[in-house]
């Protein structure tokens, strides 16, 4: 493990219940990152999605990809506590299998292009080697408002 949840919280502004990563297990600066999300029945979204048939919402899987990318990108930003990353587009999102309590989501994100404040990332989320979701994410780094 490279970063645990406490180290991730020193990099990302996200907190429970919106923090979607438990660990970073691989990282190549400016290139790729691999994060882990342990999916438990205690997640608040399972109360309503769906009672009796809990499934992790696809948008939260995409959010986990974005957060992993954020950990990677913020490594290069000296004053990251004054910055936020906003989605500007999500392309080619595909959901291949449900993610359910007990699954360990492995989120791999690769930098496709990075210029100035804009970045394009390719994300894949797998469970036990099976593709659960994939997407192309575009984000913009902005100044955090006081």
Active site residues: 49
Query: Look-up: residue for tokens 């449900």?
Result: 98
Q: Retrieve residue 108's tokens.
A: 């791999």
Q: What tokens appear for 33 in the block?
A: 């990152």
| 3-state class (DSSP) for residue 67 | helix
DSSP-based three-state secondary structure for 89 = strand
Longest CA–CA separation in the chain, Å: 46
């Amino acid at each position: 493990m490279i970063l645990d949840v406490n180290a991730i919280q020193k990099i990302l502004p996200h907190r429970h219940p919106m923090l979607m990563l438990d660990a970073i297990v691989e990282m190549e600066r400016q290139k790729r990152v691999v994060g882990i999300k342990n999916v438990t029945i205690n997640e608040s979204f399972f109360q309503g999605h769906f009672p009796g048939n809990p499934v992790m919402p696809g948008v939260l899987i995409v959010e986990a990809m974005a957060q992993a990318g954020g950990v990677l990108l913020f490594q290069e930003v000296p004053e990251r506590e004054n910055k936020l990353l906003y989605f500007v587009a999500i392309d080619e999102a595909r959901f291949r299998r449900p993610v359910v309590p007990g699954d360990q989501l492995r989120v791999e994100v690769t930098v496709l292009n990075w210029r100035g404040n804009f970045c394009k990332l390719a994300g894949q989320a797998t469970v036990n080697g099976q593709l659960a979701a994939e997407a192309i994410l575009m984000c913009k780094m902005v100044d955090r408002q006081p």
